[in-house]
């Protein structure tokens, strides 16, 4: 396997070494000039460089620095500075490339933060011009009301930028209908490395330097016509190399409908190695208004693969997708309660594979006819009664969700063996798909591994990632499997790189694919456009070996530093078996960081945490758009710290900075495909930071609140003075860092904990017929006692015998129970453990009897189902966790069990519609349906859920002066505007800090669901 020059790998290594060894003087000069000549962000710290050293590939190459331009012109300025200093440039969007395209020496230019606008929308022409940093979903959201969309629907649509998509010639699930990126780009304005800004568009209309480039490439295409005919894969999905075939089309779908040559197509798929895109003009498509889905069930995987070639002939132009879900994915989905019902609606018996066949258009009735033709075809192919017909939108949508989730589960395998992407997107002609997949499965078996197959059967691009351990023999096996897979691709005349591009992983395969002569032509194209070799050098031309471990994230020198963790991370500290995916027992994985490093390494940089949906993950990134504030940025920072690549380790200021805006919302625990739980990691990291740097006054004040609350409440008048006097508020801010702008919760002399004893005794509840234990937390007990009383009243009205949990079984002041949450928030694990232990001891007898323990504050109650289990509190924590439920969860469960008949008769009809904001931890535990179900117990109620992320208050976060602005921005992202828009509604929010934020931002009093129900009780 040789590339165009005999010494290619050495050459790549040389460039790397040269720049890696670049004197601080060059880096310093570069940073200085960027700072003085632009207003952009200049990120040259070790942590910043480390965060930009990786993308969604297995590679890691540390850049000299990172530049985040504020204006497009600053890209040109940065390029000019790099030219002067001879520093290579790596263009970057969302950094979700799977082959290492955005890892490189030199200066990384990140377009995703600021350079992301629509420049021109021409609905008449059906075109839009965008800046390269614009995210696909953002574009499509703004186009939706116009009835059009940009249809290259990559799976990463929520975070992939159009510049990156063009760079990689990305392809969506519906490429059979709409083509790849190259089929949908109409023009590009781009800078060459010498600073010229060119308009790449129709060759025929071009002039000047662009025309000259066109002529040059044309002449190469003519010169290499014979090789183009023989070596160029004749499939839709070929993204390797440069598109020399613009002048001699080889694609099964011509790049332009009328056969014209568009010079922009030369840049598409060039992975930032030819020019830097300033803007792209894109072709828009009509947004289909109707869709139907046929789910074909197969009793053999081979048959599914063999049938794809026939299915794609259906539809009369309405077929938009044929997507595979294999048996492993079906099984994985069936194991998840949330997905099992959906997947059951799609399967007949126990299929080995299903194909999701979608038809889309404007007339549902016509699409139903296509569905019938699919049924008929399957009958002809010997599979009668194999199609589940889905005509309604909801089941279709649910099934597409399951298809995505299957991949997520696959990625969440614990242990060092991971599904690795390197032959994930080979494309073969459909008539060979069955033979190809059979043969590759055998290759995996031969190498002691396995792969799960999924995705784009319509175009012969099936995704598969064999499980490899890159710290041990992964690189060797990767090479061996790649060699055998490539032989199969050649045998079936396919494309080795069919979707994800070349980068570091497949650069060396370009010559293999096209032959030395065309590779030489590619080198000439690179030289013509970038003679300075400034743009991502040593990638498409003179690339390194794919298995060069010196370029890998878990290369030969990767070592974890031993540390003693405060929390138990043993669940991650396991080994796995690549062939069976079985993991060893917790704690046996030999992680010197006791499992923490392996938990952090779960992040594979796929970038889902950079999405901008109104969901939960990741609120701080959604506000700042800084890589450091995405879960990915945090995980990468921790990985660098734990492996000695960041001076000062976990106690360093870089780690503190990365964690600073993490609100501990647990959004990542729920949404991250690999289950990175940054909220828990933040506790661990703060613990280590405290050990070295000590605690601040603010941390002590907030953490110890449960301890001094009973005294403070006695002095409520004095304590509340701070809220009445701006001067005192400012003084408090200067002493504690808690913002003078925020009101503090009001202390009350009379509160739940010093009110007369309520409820049944511990003894009584243990023998009661309808027993329940109410755990009242510090916040609801001292500051919003009405919620605790309300819960008590509602539960009593429903016929339960309610026991109020307390330390001494007596409600004496100062003896309330606490989960330890306020201590966890500042990393004080030992103190949190003391409190949690007392709580667990008090709750254990009830839990052992199977009595539900009902809590009101989501973050407090759910501590019993989360952090309590990893603080070394043993079996008692496990037992209590099984009984700990939120108030709404308890009632929703009881309602399902028909236990709320009497309560329902006592509820008065609703006077107002209800608007619900979910607490992050409720969302992370999937509990929002319980809230709406319980509200629906109220007769005639109308309830709407706000599509919101974190409220921005997050415990003490929003009270802190240093976080005030970010806190407000988080709230303003969705929550507060939604509340303001619904003046007619009563707002329900179960989190105490959420209610505070809503009051501060809108002057509206939100209520706990318990209070809402109590307000509707007939008295
Ligand atoms: C889980 C997962 C699923 C994926 N699914 C798909 C899929 O369905 N289909 C698919 O095609 N891909 C897929 N990908 C790959 C990847 O997400 C896409 O290629 C995506 O389009 C990359 O967008 P980005 O903004 O992250 O680009 P980046 O990774 O940042 O960059 C991509 C390339 O474009 C270049 N580039 C970026 N900006 C510019 C610019 N201004 N000028 C010149 N060059 C530039 C970069 O140098 C790089 O070579 C997937 C990846 C992951 C991790
Ligand atoms: S934190 Fe999770 S979602 Fe974010 S990049 Fe890492 S693995 Fe992906
Ligand atoms: S806990 Fe929340 S804020 Fe922190 S990284 Fe996860 S999603 Fe982001």
Q: In terms of C-beta density within 10 A (0-12 exposed, 13-18 middle, 19 or more buried), how is residue 208 classed?
A: exposed
Q: Which residue is listed with tokens 């006054």? A: 697
Average pLDDT over residues 870-891: 98
Helix ranges (H only) for 412-549 are 433-446, 474-491, 503-506, 509-514, 516-529
Query: Looking at ligand 3, which residue's alpha carbon is closest to its atom 5?
Result: 631
Closest listed residue to residue 195, CA positions, set 132, 269, 266, 275: 275
| Residues 783, 712 contacting (CB under 8 angstroms) | no
Q: Is the pLDDT of residue 3 over 50?
A: no
Pocket test of ligand 2: the residue of 411, 676, 678 to mutate, having most ligand atoms within 8 Å of its CB, is 676
What distance in Å separates the CA atoms of residue 406 and residue 811, rounded to the nearest whole number?
Answer: 49
- Closest listed ligand to the CA of 632: 2
User: In terms of pLDDT, which residue wins out, 134 or 557?
Assistant: 134
Pocket test of ligand 2: the residue of 412, 418, 606, 658 to mutate, having most ligand atoms within 8 Å of its CB, is 606
DSSP state of 560: P
* 3-class state of residue 965 by DSSP: helix
What distance in Å separates the CA atoms of residue 964 and residue 968, rounded to the nearest whole number?
Answer: 6
Residue 297 Cα to ligand 1 midpoint, Å, equals 33
Ligand 3 atom at minimum distance from 631 CA = 5
CB 616 less than 6 A from any atom of ligand 2? no
pLDDT tier for residue 704 given thresholds of 50, 70 and 90: very high
Pocket test of ligand 2: the residue of 607, 619, 682 to mutate, having most ligand atoms within 8 Å of its CB, is 607
pLDDT tier for residue 18 given thresholds of 50, 70 and 90: low
CB 785 less than 6 A from any atom of ligand 2? no
Residue 631 Cα to ligand 3 midpoint, Å, equals 6
Residue 186 Cα to ligand 3 midpoint, Å, equals 39
Closest listed residue to residue 325, CA positions, set 455, 219, 465, 161: 455
Q: How far is CA 215 from the centre of its chain?
A: 43
* 3-class state of residue 456 by DSSP: strand
What distance in Å separates the CA atoms of residue 564 and residue 688, rounded to the nearest whole number?
Answer: 9
Pocket around ligand 1 at a 6 A CB cut-off: 55-56, 90-98, 101-102, 111, 132, 154-156, 160-161, 163-165, 167-168, 170-172, 271-272, 276-277, 499-500, 536, 606
Helix then strand count (H, E) for the chain reads 46, 26
Ligand 2 atom at minimum distance from 605 CA = 5
What distance in Å separates the CA atoms of residue 517 and residue 520, rounded to the nearest whole number?
Answer: 5
Residue 605 Cα to ligand 2 midpoint, Å, equals 5
Two tokens, residue 783: 């500051």
| Residues 22, 64 contacting (CB under 8 angstroms) | yes
pLDDT tier for residue 405 given thresholds of 50, 70 and 90: low
Q: Is the pLDDT of residue 908 over 80?
A: yes
**pTM of this structure:** 0.94
- Closest listed ligand to the CA of 600: 2
Rg, Å, the chain Cα set = 30
DSSP state of 939: T
Torsion of CA 972, 975, 981, 984, to 10 degrees: -140
Q: Are strands 461-464 and 453-456 parallel, antiparallel or unpaired?
A: antiparallel
Residue 809 Cα to ligand 2 midpoint, Å, equals 45
Query: Looking at ligand 3, which residue's alpha carbon is closest to its atom 3?
Result: 662
Task: Name 291's Cβ contacts closer than 8 Å, sequence gap at least 6.
Answer: 320, 358, 359, 360, 367, 393, 396
Residue 401 Cα to ligand 2 midpoint, Å, equals 18
Q: Is the pLDDT of residue 557 over 90?
A: no
| Residues 890, 810 contacting (CB under 8 angstroms) | no
Query: Looking at ligand 3, which residue's alpha carbon is closest to its atom 2?
Result: 665
Q: Distance of CA 489 to CAs 303, 460, 500, 594, 602, Å?
A: 20, 11, 16, 42, 31
The 10 Å Cβ neighbour count of residue 687 is 20
Helix ranges (H only) for 704-755 are 705-714, 716-719, 721-724, 726-736
With left for phi above 0 and alpha for psi between -120 and 50, is residue 810 left, alpha or beta? beta
pLDDT tier for residue 25 given thresholds of 50, 70 and 90: confident
Mean pLDDT in the chain?
A: 93
Q: Distance of CA 902 to CAs 77, 792, 799, 898, Å?
A: 72, 15, 7, 10
CB 636 less than 6 A from any atom of ligand 2? no
| Residues 958, 997 contacting (CB under 8 angstroms) | yes
Pocket test of ligand 1: the residue of 97, 101, 269 to mutate, having most ligand atoms within 8 Å of its CB, is 97
Give pLDDT, residue 629: 97
pLDDT tier for residue 807 given thresholds of 50, 70 and 90: confident
Q: What is the pLDDT of residues 443-483, one digit of tens each?
A: 999 999 988 888 888 889 989 999 999 999 999 999 999 99
Q: Distance of CA 477 to CAs 439, 885, 1009, Å?
A: 17, 47, 56
Residue 868 Cα to ligand 3 midpoint, Å, equals 19
Give pLDDT, residue 458: 87
| Residues 503, 495 contacting (CB under 8 angstroms) | no
Closest listed residue to residue 375, CA positions, set 414, 348, 336: 348
CB 603 less than 6 A from any atom of ligand 2? yes
Residue 194 Cα to ligand 1 midpoint, Å, equals 25
H-helix or E-strand spanning residue 779: helix 778-782
- Closest listed ligand to the CA of 92: 1
Closest listed residue to residue 136, CA positions, set 767, 607, 834: 607
Q: Is the pLDDT of residue 5 over 70?
A: no
H-helix or E-strand spanning residue 199: strand 197-200
Average pLDDT over residues 977-1000: 97
Angle between helix axes 992-1002 and 964-973 (nearest 10 degrees) is 90
pLDDT tier for residue 814 given thresholds of 50, 70 and 90: low
Q: What is the pLDDT of residues 932-974, one digit of tens each?
A: 999 999 999 999 999 988 999 998 999 999 999 999 999 999 9
- Closest listed ligand to the CA of 681: 3
Residue 336 Cα to ligand 2 midpoint, Å, equals 20
Instruction: Look at 6-15, 146-155, 755-764, 831-840 and tell me which has the smallest mean pLDDT.
Output: 6-15
Ligand 1 atom at minimum distance from 606 CA = 53
Q: Is the pLDDT of residue 194 over 70?
A: yes
Give pLDDT, residue 402: 80
Residue 538 Cα to ligand 1 midpoint, Å, equals 18
Ligand 2 atom at minimum distance from 671 CA = 3
What distance in Å separates the CA atoms of residue 353 and residue 305, rounded to the nearest whole number?
Answer: 9
* 3-class state of residue 187 by DSSP: strand
SS3 content of the chain, % helix, strand, coil (to 5): 45, 15, 40
Ligand 2 atom at minimum distance from 618 CA = 4
pLDDT above 90: percentage of residues in the chain: 88
| Residues 915, 979 contacting (CB under 8 angstroms) | yes
What distance in Å separates the CA atoms of residue 639 and residue 599, rounded to the nearest whole number?
Answer: 10
Query: Looking at ligand 1, which residue's alpha carbon is closest to its atom 1?
Result: 606
Three-point CA angle 983, 948, 345, nearest 5°: 115
Q: Is the pLDDT of residue 7 over 50?
A: no
What distance in Å separates the CA atoms of residue 299 and residue 304, rounded to the nearest whole number?
Answer: 8
* 3-class state of residue 338 by DSSP: coil
Instruction: Look at 69-83, 201-215, 387-401, 624-638 and tell me which has the smallest mean pLDDT.
Output: 387-401
Torsion of CA 659, 662, 665, 670, to 10 degrees: -70
pLDDT tier for residue 15 given thresholds of 50, 70 and 90: very low
Pocket around ligand 3 at a 6 A CB cut-off: 617-620, 631, 634, 662-668, 678-679
Torsion of CA 567, 572, 573, 575, to 10 degrees: 170
CB 97 less than 6 A from any atom of ligand 2? no
Residue 598 Cα to ligand 1 midpoint, Å, equals 26
């Amino acid at each position: 396997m040789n590339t165009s020059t005999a010494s290619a790998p050495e050459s790549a290594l040389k460039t790397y070494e040269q720049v890696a060894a670049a004197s601080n003087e060059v880096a310093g000069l570069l940073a200085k000039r960027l700072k003085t000549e632009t207003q952009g962000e200049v990120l040259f710290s070790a942590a910043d460089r480390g965060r930009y050293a990786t993308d969604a590939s297995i590679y890691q190459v540390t850049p000299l620095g990172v530049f985040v331009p504020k204006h497009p012109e600053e890209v040109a300025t940065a390029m000019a500075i790099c030219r002067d200093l001879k520093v290579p440039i790596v263009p970057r969007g969302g950094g979700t490339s799977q082959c290492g395209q955005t890892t490189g020496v030199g200066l990384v230019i990140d377009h995703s933060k600021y350079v992301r606008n629509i420049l021109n929308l021409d609905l008449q022409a059906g075109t839009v011009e965008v800046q390269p940093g614009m995210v696909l979903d953002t574009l499509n959201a703004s186009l939706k009301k116009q009835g059009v969309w940009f249809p290259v629907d990559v799976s990463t649509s929520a975070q992939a930028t159009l510049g990156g998509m063009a760079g990689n010639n990305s392809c969506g699930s519906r490429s059979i209908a709409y083509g790849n990126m190259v089929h949908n780009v109409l023009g590009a304005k781009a800078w060459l490395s010498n600073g010229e800004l060119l308009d790449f568009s129709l060759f025929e209309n071009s002039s000047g330097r662009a025309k000259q480039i066109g002529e040059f490439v044309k002449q190469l295409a003519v010169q290499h016509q014979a090789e183009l005919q023989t070596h160029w894969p004749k499939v839709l999905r070929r993204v390797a190399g440069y598109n020399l075939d613009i002048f001699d089309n080889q694609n099964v779908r011509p790049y332009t409908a009328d056969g014209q040559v568009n010079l922009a197509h030369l840049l598409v798929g060039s992975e930032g190695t030819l020019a830097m895109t300033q803007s792209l003009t894109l072709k828009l498509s009509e947004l289909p208004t109707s869709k139907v889905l046929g789910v074909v069930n197969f009793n053999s995987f081979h048959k599914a693969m063999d049938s794809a070639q026939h299915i794609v002939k259906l539809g009369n132009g309405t077929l938009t997708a044929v997507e595979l879900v294999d048996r492993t994915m079906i099984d994985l989905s069936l194991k998840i309660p949330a997905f099992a019902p959906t997947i059951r609606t799609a399967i007949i018996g126990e299929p080995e594979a299903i194909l999701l066949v979608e038809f889309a258009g404007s007339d549902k009735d016509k699409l139903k006819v296509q569905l019938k033709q699919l049924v008929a075809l399957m009958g002809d192919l010997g599979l009668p009664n194999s199609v589940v017909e889905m005509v309604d939108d909801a089941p279709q949508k649910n099934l597409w969700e399951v298809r995505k989730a299957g991949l997520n589960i696959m990625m969440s395998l614990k242990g060092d063996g991971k599904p690795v992407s390197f032959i994930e997107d080979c494309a073969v002609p459909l008539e060979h798909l069955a033979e190809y997949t059979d043969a590759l499965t055998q290759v995996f078996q031969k190498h002691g591994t396995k792969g799960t197959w999924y995705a784009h059967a319509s175009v012969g691009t099936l995704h598969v990632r064999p499980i490899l351990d890159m710290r041990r023999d992964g690189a060797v096996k990767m090479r061996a499997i790649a060699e055998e897979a490539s032989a199969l691709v050649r045998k079936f005349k396919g494309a080795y790189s069919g979707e994800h591009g070349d980068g570091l992983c497949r650069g060396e395969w370009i010559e293999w694919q096209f032959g030395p002569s065309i590779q030489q032509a590619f080198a000439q194209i690179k030289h013509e456009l970038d003679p300075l070799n400034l743009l991502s050098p040593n990638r498409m031309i003179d690339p390194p070996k794919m298995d060069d471990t010196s370029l890998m994230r878990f290369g030969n020198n990767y070592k974890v530093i031993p540390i003693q963790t405060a929390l138990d991370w043993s669940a991650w500290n396991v080994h796995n078996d690549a062939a069976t995916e079985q993991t060893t027992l917790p704690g046996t994985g030999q992680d010197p960081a006791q499992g923490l490093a392996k938990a952090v390494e779960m992040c594979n940089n796929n970038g889902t945490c950079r999405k901008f949906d109104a969901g939960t993950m990741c609120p701080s990134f959604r506000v700042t758009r800084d890589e450091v504030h995405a879960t990915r940025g945090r995980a990468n920072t921790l990985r660098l710290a734990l492996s000695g690549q960041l001076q000062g380790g976990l106690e360093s200021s870089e780690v503190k900075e990365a964690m600073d805006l993490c609100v501990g919302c647990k959004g990542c625990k729920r949404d991250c495909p690999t289950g990175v739980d940054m909220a828990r990691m933040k506790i661990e990291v703060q613990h280590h930071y405290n050990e070295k740097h000590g605690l601040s006054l603010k941390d002590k004040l907030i953490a110890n609140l449960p301890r001094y609350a009973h005294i403070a409440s006695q002095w409520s008048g004095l304590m509340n003075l701070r809220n009445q006097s701006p001067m005192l508020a400012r003084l408090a801010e200067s002493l504690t860092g808690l913002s003078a702008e925020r009101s503090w919760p009001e202390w009350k002399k009379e509160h739940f904990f010093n009110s007369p004893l309520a409820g049944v005794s511990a003894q009584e509840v243990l023998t009661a017929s309808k027993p329940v234990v109410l755990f009242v937390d510090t916040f609801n007990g001292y500051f919003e006692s009405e919620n605790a009383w309300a819960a008590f009243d509602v539960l009593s009205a429903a016929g339960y015998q309610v026991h109020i949990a307390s330390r001494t079984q007596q409600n004496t002041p100062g003896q309330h129970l606490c989960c330890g949450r306020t201590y966890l928030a500042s990393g004080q694990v030992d103190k949190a453990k003391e409190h949690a232990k007392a709580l667990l001891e008090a709750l254990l007898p009830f839990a052992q009897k199977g009595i539900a323990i009902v809590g009101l504050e989501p973050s407090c109650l759910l501590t019993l189902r989360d952090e309590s289990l990893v603080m070394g509190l043993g079996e008692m924590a496990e037992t209590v966790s099984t009984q700990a439920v939120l108030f709404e969860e308890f009632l929703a469960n009881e309602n399902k069990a028909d236990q709320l008949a009497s309560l329902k008769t006592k509820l008065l009809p609703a006077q107002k519609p209800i608007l619900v904001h979910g607490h992050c931890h409720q969302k992370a535990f999937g509990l929002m349906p319980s809230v709406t179900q319980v509200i629906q117990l109220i007769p005639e109620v109308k309830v709407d859920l706000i599509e919101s992320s974190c409220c921005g208050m997050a415990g003490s976060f929003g009270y802190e002066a240093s976080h005030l602005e970010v806190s407000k921005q988080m709230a303003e992202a969705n929550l507060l505007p939604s509340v303001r828009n619904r003046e007619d509604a009563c707002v329900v929010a179960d989190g105490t800090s959420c209610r505070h934020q809503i009051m501060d931002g809108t002057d509206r009093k939100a209520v706990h669901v318990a209070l809402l129900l109590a307000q509707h009780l007939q008295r």
